[in-house]
Amino acid sequence: MSPLKDSDGNIRSLEDVLIGEDFDISEFDRWITSMGTSSSIILQMFDKAVKNAKDKARMKTIDSTRRVWKIKNDAEKRGITTFEWMFEKDNEGHKTGNYISQYNQGQYKKDEKEMLDALQTKYGKHPIGKDFKAMQAEKAAWYEQHAGRDILGYYVPNESYRNKTFDSLSKAQKDTLDDILNYKNEIEAKIPIDRRDTYRAIQRRRGGLQRVSDAADNPKQSWESIKEAVRSTFRRTEDDDQIYGDRTSGLTDFTGKEYMVIPVLFTSRLNNPDELSTDVMGDLMVYADMANTYEEVSAIYDPLEVGVSVLSNKEFIQNKGSKRKEEVINTMGKVTRRNIKIGSNTNFEKKLRDFLECQVYERYLKEDDVIGPNAQKAVSFFQRMTSMAYLGCNWLQGIANVATAGCMQHIEAAASEFFSAKNLGNADLEYGKMMPEFVAELASQ
């Protein structure tokens, strides 16, 4: 048997672990105690497995972040500091949700949808007879004019959708684009094949700081940007499942229960592509972190689910404190004792399933915005504000800290143990000369 250690460091066999735990965990353990410090060594084992997987993912993300910084530094050496040019736009100047390429895929898809919608309006959803033939003929004529076929026989845009903006990119821009897309392909090799798309932009909405920056560059859209930022802070948006994990659609198993899957984030297209973040380097870091987590957690997914299925049928004995609850039968002087067992829906099972739902399937919060603002988002906003006020806006405490540090420096200077008052004065002068350069760099990254 494989030896295991409990929380006290004592070695136990796997058989003892799986069979030997007789009592269900308490209500206190169910709601207050963490998985890592639970009284159940089985729950500790699940916690350790998930933590190990996420630790491996974090180490990979550190390497991924270094790769992204290298791409960014190479771009800056070429003179590339902004990345708005990377996003494909349609004929009306709106983002399509793709990165730029030789052919305008977004405009082609938009025109194709308009053609199909027009045919459905003209001939109906399920035409038959002459109408069906006429519809197919018009569809074939449109594809003949606007598309060709790739090696797999799928329609692709023809030269009429050649992207002139792409052709006008400089060599530095094209080299940077190649670096970014090549690394994006490496990241996507870790996620399911049906979620991969080289030219699909990372579907991440703009944050508050980016909205402020964009408003400064385009004052006409500043008010709309501010309104959208406020709205998304308090109301549900289409990409909230990529933050909170809870979705309005899902899968079910044979019993009708929800079949949960490990989330693949930032791949579902936003309803409004103009909301896409243009912080391409930040997007790559977040995307890599998601893919690394998916890869590592997927490696333990099957053992975890099998373990949950097996342990869900585990029978626990009812107890009062450390004593078993028993049925005592006295038959003609012969005493028989029988343990009273708990049925299904034990605290152990509920805690384990809650843990997996949160830490493996990343369902962090429950949505409750059937009517009006989303309470969870409102509470999160209030917590951020109070934290910012405590950490960054407590001016009196900040002034007191700086004043105390300044006094300590001058006391040490007066003592002349490590440096003199003259040395301190010269250091302050040099520091003051460098301050304008430091301040200028605050918004450079």
Residue 237's pLDDT is 63
Residues 6+ apart with CB under 8 A from 263: 241, 242, 245, 294, 361, 362
**What is the pLDDT averaged over residues 47-57?**
94
Residue 224 has a CB neighbour count (10 Å cut-off) of: 12
Report which of residues 159 and 344 the model is more confident about.
159
Q: For 247-259, write each residue's pLDDT tens digit.
A: 556 667 666 777 7
| Mean model confidence pLDDT for the chain | 82
Residue 185's pLDDT is 96
Q: For 342-367, write each residue's pLDDT tens digit.
A: 666 788 888 998 999 888 888 765 55
**Under 8 Å between Cβ of 60 and 292:** yes
99 beta partners = 87
**Under 8 Å between Cβ of 192 and 110:** no
Q: pLDDT class for 243, splitting at 50, 70, 90?
A: very low
